[in-house]
Structure 1
Amino acid sequence: MFGPLLQTVESEGGTTAIAVAVFLGQATAFVVACWIAKRSYDGYRDVRRKPLLWLALGITLLAAVPTVLRFLLPTVLGASSVTTAILATSSEIAGLVAILYTVYGRP
């Protein structure tokens, strides 16, 4: 499973240990972001407060989606670094806007 990923990092001058550490860090960030988003969504379902729904969406777009995009687009689809950066950054901006709407808007 890690073969192509590790080969890519090693061919670019990194070591296997660095590749594994980066992968584990990204996986941890993804799991934590999904857990926080799920807890926010569960809170929304319990009390039907729209700010919790917007918060769950914002956290998902801010942390979980860019993590997946940065890993899957270049690895699976062979997307360029520019495409990956644009899509991941767009997701992060949308997540921040959703969180700002939660704080300052009237959802």
Structure 2
Amino acid sequence: MPDLLLQSATGGSVPVVAAALIGQTIAFALACWIVYRAASGYRASRAPALLWLAVGVALLSAAPTAARVLLPTFTSAPVVTVRGVALVGEVLGLTAILYAIYGKP
């Protein structure tokens, strides 16, 4: 049965697709861990900059990764829409991080 799952992959050879999925999973897990740590720091210190940092990292990393995986999997959204949603998340995340650093949250 596992041989049937590894015979073909859309988008490239099986090792390349597996490496890409593993990389995306690691990036998503690291982003979630950073968001958790920043949110924990916010709860402990009530420093609004940490909250904005957590929101920014979530929007910059975790949300686009989730959009790139979940939208094509569960909807028939075109590639342009998926990329657009991911890009909007990244821009909003960078804006939130910049606000945490240079703004007066």
**Fold shared per TM-score above 0.5:** yes
**What is the aligned counterpart of 2:75 among 74, 77, 95?**
77
Q: Tell me the matched-pair count.
A: 101
**What is the aligned counterpart of 2:49 among 26, 51, 54?**
51
**Distance in 2 between residues matched to 1:38 and 1:50, nearest whole Å:** 15
The Cα shift of 1:76 comes to: 1.8
Alignment correspondent of 1:27: 25
Equivalent AA in structure 1 for residue 92 of structure 2: A
Question: How well do the aligned residues superpose, as a CA RMSD in angstroms?
Answer: 1.7
**Misfit runs of 4+, over 3 Å:** none
Superposition map of 1:1-107 within 5 A: 9=10, 12=11, 14-107=12-105
The Cα shift of 1:7 comes to: 5.1
Q: TM-score, normalised by structure 2?
A: 0.90
Q: TM-score, normalised by structure 1?
A: 0.88
**Distance in 1 between residues matched to 2:18 and 2:73, nearest whole Å:** 15
- Percent sequence identity over matched residues? 45
The Cα shift of 1:106 comes to: 0.1
